[in-house]
Amino acid sequence: MLTEVPQAISEAIKIAPVDPQYYGPDDDRVTRFVDQTIDTWSNAEPELAGGLNQLKDLLTPLEQEALTFYLASTAFAIADAAPPLEKPQQEIKERATGVTLFKNLTSGEIESERDAFRTTWQTVYPENLSFAATATFTRETVLSQPEIPDLDAKLAQLKADFAAEMQTWKDAGKTPEMRDMLSMKLKLESKYPNLKDYMFDLTIGDVDLVSNPVEPEYSDVPERMGFTGEKLWRIDQRAKEYQRLLRRAGVNITGYQPIPLGWNALITRGLDYLGHYGMNGYQNEGCFMDYGGSYAMDRAFLLAKRTLSEEGVTSPTALFPTPGFMMMKDVAENTGLKTMELVTKPEDHFLPTPDKLKEILLAHPEIKILVLTPINNPGSHVAEAERIKQILDMLEGEQQFKDIIVINDLAYLGTGDKDQNTQLGKTLNQRRRRIDVLAWTKLLGRPGLRCATAGTPDPEIAKWVKPVARNVTLAISYPMQAETLAVLDFVKLEDMERLYQLYRHRQEKMIETLKLRPDLFDIYHALVTTWDAALYAFVPLANGVDPLDIMPQTGLFGTSARAFYASVFPDIPNYIRFALGKQPITEQTIDRMRKMMS
Ligand SMILES: Cc1ncc(COP(=O)(O)O)c(C=O)c1O
C-alpha cells in the first residue's frame, strides 16, 4: 500500500514528456492515445491498476497525467529499442515493460527514476541488448599537447602573417564582421595547424560545450546541459519518443500544419521561462515558435507591420539602438520595414536615454517600432530596470507614442544576475503593446538547434499572429521541436543557470587576463563599462589602438565595435567585442593567451 509518493515516481514526473501539440479538445489526440494505452494496460494488469489507483490520492491531476505520459512513453521507448515483433507480441512486450517499469518505480527498494529505468531495461534485455554504460558517452579529456620546438619564433611568424591579413582589410577600408574573422581564423589554422591553440575563437556568439573540455570547475555543465553522458542518451531517446507518440496517435509528423505556430507545449515552456523572469500576460492566441531568434524576430517584424497596417500605418520605420546585433536590422529591412539607428553612448551603458529617444521619436513620427535588446550583445550588460522604466514611462506618457510597438529581443534573458534579470523582466512587462522574442539558442547552449518562442500580451497584435503565420510558413519542423522539447524535459532551469555561471566565469577571467596589456585595453580606466551579462565582453581599447591590431598582437579573435553600428561615423567608441561561448578559458588557455600577449 502506497502511503506516500515514492521518490522515483516524483523524479519521473519531473522529467515526464507532455502532449506536444495539445490545443484543448480541438487537438488532444496524443493525450487520448496515451490515456487509452494506460487504460488498456490497467484492464489487463490488475496490479498496475491498483498501484495507479493508490497514487491517485497522492498526486494532483496534472501529476497523474505526467505519470501516465512517462509510463507509456518510456515503455514504448524501451520496447522499441529492439527490432519490432509482430503486432500482438510487440503490444504484449510494451505492456509488460510498462508494468515492470511501474513496479520498479514503486518498489521501495529502487530509489531513483534512473535506477528504475535501468533495472527495467535490464529486465527486458537481460543478455543481448544491455543498457549502454554512461562511460561510453562521456567526453574524452584532451591529451597534453607535445612541446612545440621554436615556439617563440613560430608565434612571431604567425603574428606577422596575421598582421598582413589585417592590413589587407585596413587598405580596403573594410571592417571585418564576425564571419570574416572566422574565415580568417580557419585560413591561419590550416597554415599553422600546430599553433591552433594560440588562436582564440572569441568572434562569433556561438556556444560549443563539446569540442573542447570546459573549465574543470564547470566540468558538470556539459552533462547538465545534456551534451554528454546519460542525459544525452535520454534526450535522444525522448526526442524519438515524441515522434513515436505523435505517430501512434495518428498525427502525420511529416506533413504540413494547419496552424504553423509550433507546438503548444514548447510555447508553454517559453512562457514559463519568461514568467520566471517576471514577464507574463501573453495572449493565448498571441504566441508562436520559429527557427531561432532571428526568424522569430523576422516574424515579429511582420506581425508588427501587419498590425500597424491594419491600423492605417502603411510605411512604418523600426528604430534600432546601436551598437547592436546588426543582422536584426537587415532582417527588418528584408520584411520591407524602413529602419533607423539610434546611437547610444558608453556612459549610458549603450542604452537609449529617455530624452534622446523622445527627441528622435518626435522628429520622426514614422517610427512605430522600437527594438530593444536589453541584455548583452554587444554591451555585456543587463539593462538597469530603472532606465527601462524611464523609457517605457516616457512612451506611455505621450499620446502619439501609444501605438509604438516595442519588440524585445530577449536572446539572453537570464544571463547575468538573476535578480537584475527579474527586475528588468518585470519592468519590460509594463508595456502591453509589445512582442517578446525568446531565443533558446544561447540559453540552451545550442545555437544550431534553431528554436525560439515569441509572444505578445496585446490582443490587438495577437489577432494577427495566425494570419501572419499562414503567410510565412507551412510547417515548423517536427524533429526540431521534438529535440527541443526533449532537451527541456531534462535540462532544467537550474542547469541553464549553471551554464550562465560558466559564461560569467569566462567573462571575469577574460577581463582579468586583458589587464596584462593596459597599452591595448582600457580596463582600469574604463569609467563606466560594466560586464555583468556574461557571454560577451565588450572592451574599451586604449587611445589610438586600432581594433584590427588587437588580433595580431594577442591572438584574440574579436569583433570590432564598428561591426555593431549601421553607419560609419568618426567617433565610434573604440571597443572590441569578445564572445565567450566557444573558447574554454582554463588556466592553460590563460597561459597561452599571456604568451601571445607578451
Ligand atoms: C541580440 C541577439 N538576438 C538574436 C540573436 C540570434 O539568435 P538565433 O541564433 O536564435 O537566431 C543573436 C545572436 O547572436 C543576438 O546576439
Q: Which atom of ligand 1 is nearest to the CA of 447?
A: 9
Task: Give me the sign of the Cα torsion angle 154, 155, 159, 165.
Answer: positive
Instruction: Report the C-alpha gap between 485 and 263 in whole angstroms.
Output: 9
- Rounded mean pLDDT, 543-551: 93
Residue 490 lies in a domain: no
Give the tens place of pLDDT for each residue, 397-443: 999 999 999 999 999 999 999 999 999 999 999 999 999 999 999 99
Are residue 216 and residue 301 in the same domain, yes or no? no
Helix 29-44 and helix 229-248, axial crossing angle in degrees, nearest 10 = 100
pLDDT for residue 132 is more than 60: no
Are residue 199 and residue 126 in the same domain, yes or no? no
Give the tens place of pLDDT for each residue, 191-213: 999 999 999 999 989 999 998 89
Are residue 466 and residue 510 in the same domain, yes or no? no
Comparing CA positions, the residue from 573, 575, 570 lying closest to residue 559 is: 575
Ligand 1 center from residue 328 Cα (angstroms) = 8
What's the grid cell of residue 515?
Answer: 589587464
Q: In 10 A of CB 124, how many CB atoms?
A: 19
| Higher per-residue pLDDT: 23 or 346 | 346
Give the tens place of pLDDT for each residue, 248-270: 999 999 999 888 999 999 999 99
Beta strand pairing call for 452-455 and 287-290: antiparallel
**DSSP tag of 304:** H
pLDDT for residue 173 is more than 90: no
pLDDT band at 135 (very low <50, low <70, confident <90, very high): very low
The CATH number of whichever domain residue 307 belongs to comes to 3.40.640.10
The CATH number of whichever domain residue 177 belongs to comes to 3.90.1150.10
Are residue 455 and residue 327 in the same domain, yes or no? yes
pLDDT for residue 234 is more than 50: yes
Query: Residue for cell digits 611568424?
Result: 157
176 lines ligand 1 (CB under 6 A): no
Q: Looking at residue 139, what is its pLDDT?
A: 45
* Residue 452, beta-bridge partner list: 290, 439
Percent of the chain with pLDDT over 70: 96
Residue 175 lies in a domain: yes
Are residue 40 and residue 81 in the same domain, yes or no? yes
Residue 2 lies in a domain: no
Residue 1 lies in a domain: no
Contacts of 530 (CB under 8 A, 6+ apart): 349, 380, 381
Q: Which of 165-179, 419-433, 566-580 has the lowest mean pLDDT?
A: 165-179
| Higher per-residue pLDDT: 177 or 262 | 262
Residue 488 lies in a domain: no
pLDDT for residue 143 is more than 60: no
Instruction: Report the C-alpha gap between 487 and 239 in whole angstroms.
Output: 8
Are residue 97 and residue 201 in the same domain, yes or no? no
Are residue 107 and residue 189 in the same domain, yes or no? no
pLDDT band at 138 (very low <50, low <70, confident <90, very high): very low
Give the tens place of pLDDT for each residue, 270-321: 999 999 999 999 999 999 999 999 999 999 999 999 999 999 999 999 999 9
Comparing CA positions, the residue from 357, 377, 303 lying closest to residue 564 is: 377
Are residue 476 and residue 554 in the same domain, yes or no? no
198 lines ligand 1 (CB under 6 A): no
Are residue 415 and residue 514 in the same domain, yes or no? no
- Rounded mean pLDDT, 483-491: 98
441 lines ligand 1 (CB under 6 A): yes
Q: Looking at residue 244, what is its pLDDT?
A: 95
pLDDT for residue 28 is more than 60: yes
Are residue 517 and residue 432 in the same domain, yes or no? no
Instruction: Report the C-alpha gap between 336 and 80 in whole angstroms.
Output: 49
Decide: 454 and 296 in contact? Cβ < 8 Å. yes
Residue 32 lies in a domain: yes
- Rounded mean pLDDT, 55-74: 97
pLDDT for residue 592 is more than 60: yes
120 lines ligand 1 (CB under 6 A): no
- Rounded mean pLDDT, 153-173: 93
pLDDT band at 369 (very low <50, low <70, confident <90, very high): very high
Instruction: Report the C-alpha gap between 277 and 283 in whole angstroms.
Output: 18
pLDDT band at 182 (very low <50, low <70, confident <90, very high): confident
Residue 508 lies in a domain: yes
Decide: 430 and 391 in contact? Cβ < 8 Å. no
Helices (H) and strands (E) in the chain, counts: 22, 12
Instruction: Report the C-alpha gap between 416 and 504 in whole angstroms.
Output: 7
Q: Which of 174-178, 214-218, 353-357, 414-418 has the lowest mean pLDDT?
A: 174-178
Q: Looking at residue 277, what is its pLDDT?
A: 98
pLDDT band at 3 (very low <50, low <70, confident <90, very high): confident
Q: Looking at residue 527, what is its pLDDT?
A: 63
| CA-nearest residue, atom 14 of ligand 1 | 205
Are residue 194 and residue 58 in the same domain, yes or no? no
377 lines ligand 1 (CB under 6 A): yes
Ligand 1 center from residue 294 Cα (angstroms) = 6
The string of DSSP letters for 115-156 reads HHHHHHHHHHSSSSSPPPPGGGGSPPPPPPPPPPTTHHHHHH
- Rounded mean pLDDT, 377-402: 96
pLDDT for residue 131 is more than 70: no
Report H helices in 398-524: 418-428, 459-462, 465-472, 478-490, 493-514
| Higher per-residue pLDDT: 438 or 528 | 438
Q: Looking at residue 129, what is its pLDDT?
A: 61
Q: Identify the domain containing residue 89 by its residue range.
A: 7-131
Q: Looking at residue 134, what is its pLDDT?
A: 46
CA 581 to chain centre: 12
Residue 168 lies in a domain: yes
Q: In 10 A of CB 179, how many CB atoms?
A: 11
439 lines ligand 1 (CB under 6 A): yes
In a 13 Å sphere around the CA of 591, the CA atoms on its Cβ side amount to 3
Q: Which atom of ligand 1 is nearest to the CA of 452?
A: 10
Comparing CA positions, the residue from 282, 257, 320, 225 lying closest to residue 472 is: 257
pLDDT for residue 136 is more than 50: no
Instruction: Report the C-alpha gap between 159 and 553 in whole angstroms.
Output: 6
Q: How far is CA 412 from CA 187, 224, 264, 312, 491, in A?
A: 31, 19, 22, 34, 17
pLDDT for residue 573 is more than 80: yes
Number of domains in the chain: 3
Q: How far is CA 541 from CA 73, 544, 559, 569, in A?
A: 55, 8, 12, 17
Determine the residue of 291, 441, 443 to mutate for testing ligand 1's pocket, defined as the one with the most ligand atoms within 8 A of the Cβ atom.
Answer: 441
Are residue 125 and residue 163 in the same domain, yes or no? no
Percent of the chain with pLDDT over 90: 86
Comparing CA positions, the residue from 563, 548, 575, 574 lying closest to residue 327 is: 563
Ligand 1 center from residue 544 Cα (angstroms) = 31
As a whole number, the mean pLDDT across the chain is 93
444 lines ligand 1 (CB under 6 A): no
